[in-house]
Chain A
Amino acid sequence: MIYIFDGTLEGLLTAVFEWFERKPGVATLKSKGTHQPDAFMPSFEVQSDREKADRVWRGLAQKLDRAWMRRAYCAYLSELPQIHHDLFQFIIYIFQNPHGAAQNYGHPQVLSITQTARKVEREKHRMEAFIRFQKTADGIFYCGIDPDFNVIPLLVNHFKNRYADQQWIIYDLKRHYGLFYDLQTVEEIEMGTDISLLKKTSQNLLDEKENLYADLWKNYFKSTNIVARKNTKLHTQHVPKRYWKYLTEKL
């Protein structure tokens, strides 16, 4: 049996609901985008339903502690093709087993969710580290990113708590949405402008002192290096090259 859903978290949770209602035996979950019709396998299209999804999520929250709920959510944010099915199987497994079943690291889906969540948390942590704000002429601190996973929802609290006294925008250039903090609340925004404009902030839009601080930072980065200990392999291991485009000191 193949279950086809629309790719949203709501759809995924509804699929779990439908599976328990129908009990069709072993089922594979595929999103509409990745599904290829199969001549020998019956398929079932899941209609996303808010109420059913909520019921599943609440039920899950009773079986799992907060850390595990976060892990499940993080795994979903990874957007990896295999993870939809793993998450689907994982949730079914959790419902069918007594409390504490999530600790069974010998179970393939449990391990898969743990490891994927770890990757997403690592990406989130890297964003917290590698985001470099540029101060614009109107006093907003801006940064464009294109993370491997959809980590923007995980960044809200960190940046809101830390930069409480400055306006900031973090924009995901790959997924075309971002966060804007207006000194009170964080809002999700979508900017209509051309993406290429957002990628490279032009000089006349920047605060007059922005270049000075960028220069100071570059100089600091150079001075704090100990040449006798050069270790390029370790360096790129910690700061993979795909992130260099964010980093003021690497430009």
Chain B
Amino acid sequence: MSERLIQKLNILADAAKYDVSCSSSGSDRKNTNKGLGNGHQSGICHTYTEDGRCVSLLKILLTNHCIFDCAYCVSRRSNDIERAAFTVDEVVELTMNFYRRNYIEGLFLSSGIFKSADFTMERLLRAVKKLRLEENYNGYIHLKTIPGASDELITEAGLYVDRMSINLEMPTEAGLKLLAPEKSHQDVIKPLGFVKNQIVQFKEEKKLIKSVPKFVPAGQSTQMVVGATPETDKDIMYTAASFYKSFSLKRVYYSGYIPISNDSRMPILGTQPPLLRENRLYQTDWLMRFYGFDVKELLNDNNPHLDTDIDPKLSWALRNMHLFPIDINTADYQLILRIPGIGIGSAQKIIQARKFGKLYVHQLKKIGIAYNRAKHFITCADTPFQLKDFQSHQIKGFILAESQSKYLKTPHEQLLLF
């Protein structure tokens, strides 16, 4: 019995691992009924795998049987792999016992589609309801919305879970059609829009009637596979930006494609996953969400790809040297945020600290800005007067010369012959 359970867990955790979302933040569900668990506003990562990704949730598939045949997915029906399925009780037992030992922050439940969308969704819902209603479990639950499931099932699930997500998979419709002809972006857009409207509606009602239950309090997220099809960074980020805008998503995840088959439409087996590219995309995502950048400033027809050797914020600054240097002691918060080497925490400290007097270099260093990077873009109380006006490529040279990229060991770029 326990042997088989271990085996199943191995198969179904292995199949679920390509879903990168593991966040457990955004829900402040309280442990009101003296049951087990509660939400933690900023989330807790209980451990990290050897690839450096956080493990916060017990991320499993209910089953890896699937009626679809998407080329980028390990669980596609034509793939010859071991199949397994958890019973609802097994999912509940694993979640409760892992949670009690503080191994996990909650459950991430997804599934291959078996029989029909509604049939699958109904089974997922049953596991979630059992946890919430019978086991008094108040920890985090992230549930996959199954495309094509009925509105009633989705609405009911939303009442018990903290976050729902549904994956775009490919950044463009053309890419998706190439690898998964049975699917389309419309399948994703419809439920995303439906859940978003429900969230808005429940919030409105809660303003009037306090007893209205929470509906997907931690919001929705989605994921795109990067590097399986030949989209540019611009395509990817424009799609992401439009989804953030139209569906008020909490997160868009970018998952570097890891070759899993010898399909001629995709990178061959053994190709390195595009980790650097993925990193740059996340940096761009952060700049859009927290630093007030518009995606068009970072990526446009002149720069359809992000630089690999420097981060997108620095590369934006080097393209816009006419805006610099910025005076730390007078500039707006929004402008200070745009200086390479200064993050949100430091920017806020600077704004507070300069009320008490002009800031000097030694103070800025202590506050924690990356001074060697920022010094090319700022002036403060004791900045030495400079006669020479450096060009952006020179500044880039200075910064690259003194920084050590963690990716240098595995160069990704091919040198140009001509």
Q: Which residues from chain A sit less than 8 Å from chain B, CB to CB?
A: 101, 103-108, 111, 125, 128-135, 141, 143, 158, 161-166, 209, 212-213, 215-217, 219-235, 237-239, 247-249
4 closest Cβ pairs, A-B complex: A234-B52, A229-B51, A105-B353, A103-B352
Contact indicator A224/B17 (Cβ below 8 Å): yes
A225–B16 alpha-carbon span in the complex (Å)? 11
Contact indicator B101/A165 (Cβ below 8 Å): no
A222–B98 alpha-carbon span in the complex (Å)? 15
Contact indicator A128/B50 (Cβ below 8 Å): no
Partner of A247, one of B6, B47, B363: B47
Given A104-B352, A229-B51, A133:B101 Cβ within 8 A: yes
Contact indicator B10/A226 (Cβ below 8 Å): no
Minimum CB–CB distance for A212 against chain B, Å: 5
Minimum CB–CB distance for B90 against chain A, Å: 11
Residues of A within 8 A of B2 (CB): 212, 215
Q: Is B306 in contact with chain A by the CB < 8 A criterion? A: no
Q: Is B5 in contact with chain A by the CB < 8 A criterion? A: yes
Residues of B within 8 A of A248 (CB): 101, 103
Contact indicator A164/B36 (Cβ below 8 Å): yes
14 contacts between A and B (CB under 8 A): A105-B363, A128-B44, A162-B36, A164-B31, A165-B35, A220-B10, A224-B16, A229-B52, A231-B52, A233-B52, A234-B51, A235-B51, A235-B52, A247-B47
A105–B256 alpha-carbon span in the complex (Å)? 40
Q: Is B136 in contact with chain A by the CB < 8 A criterion? A: yes
Given A105-B367, A229-B275, A238-B48, A224:B55 Cβ within 8 A: yes
Minimum CB–CB distance for A179 against chain B, Å: 14
A247–B55 alpha-carbon span in the complex (Å)? 13
Partner of B355, one of A103, A158, A219, A221: A103
A50–B402 alpha-carbon span in the complex (Å)? 54
Contact indicator A103/B353 (Cβ below 8 Å): yes
Minimum CB–CB distance for A105 against chain B, Å: 4
Minimum CB–CB distance for A245 against chain B, Å: 13
Minimum CB–CB distance for A200 against chain B, Å: 17
With CB as the reference atom, state the residue of chain A lying closest to B12: A223
Contact indicator A104/B94 (Cβ below 8 Å): no
With CB as the reference atom, state the residue of chain A lying closest to B360: A106
Contact indicator B48/A239 (Cβ below 8 Å): yes
Contact indicator A219/B6 (Cβ below 8 Å): yes
Residues of B within 8 A of A105 (CB): 349-350, 352-353, 363, 367
A163–B103 alpha-carbon span in the complex (Å)? 13
Complex interface residues of chain B between 1 and 43 (CB less than 8 A to chain A): 2, 5-6, 9-11, 13-14, 16-18, 30-31, 34-38, 40
Q: Given A105-B349, A235-B51, list of 13 further CB < 8 A pairs?
A: A103-B355, A105-B363, A105-B367, A106-B353, A135-B100, A158-B40, A164-B31, A216-B9, A220-B13, A223-B11, A229-B53, A231-B50, A234-B51
Partner of A230, one of B11, B50, B136: B50
Partner of B98, one of A107, A128, A130, A213: A213
A129–B40 alpha-carbon span in the complex (Å)? 11
A106–B92 alpha-carbon span in the complex (Å)? 52
Contact indicator A224/B46 (Cβ below 8 Å): no
A129–B47 alpha-carbon span in the complex (Å)? 7
Residues of B within 8 A of A226 (CB): 17-18, 49, 51, 53, 258
Chain B CB within 10 A, most for which of A101, A106, A162, A247: A106
Residues of A within 8 A of B283 (CB): none
With CB as the reference atom, state the residue of chain B lying closest to A237: B52
Residues of A within 8 A of B349 (CB): 105
Contact indicator B49/A221 (Cβ below 8 Å): yes
Residues of B within 8 A of A230 (CB): 50-51
With CB as the reference atom, state the residue of chain A lying closest to B367: A105
Contact indicator A232/B356 (Cβ below 8 Å): no
Q: Is B97 in contact with chain A by the CB < 8 A criterion? A: yes
A130–B45 alpha-carbon span in the complex (Å)? 9
A231–B355 alpha-carbon span in the complex (Å)? 43
Contact indicator B58/A231 (Cβ below 8 Å): no
Chain B CB within 10 A, most for which of A107, A128, A221, A223: A223
With CB as the reference atom, state the residue of chain A lying closest to B362: A106
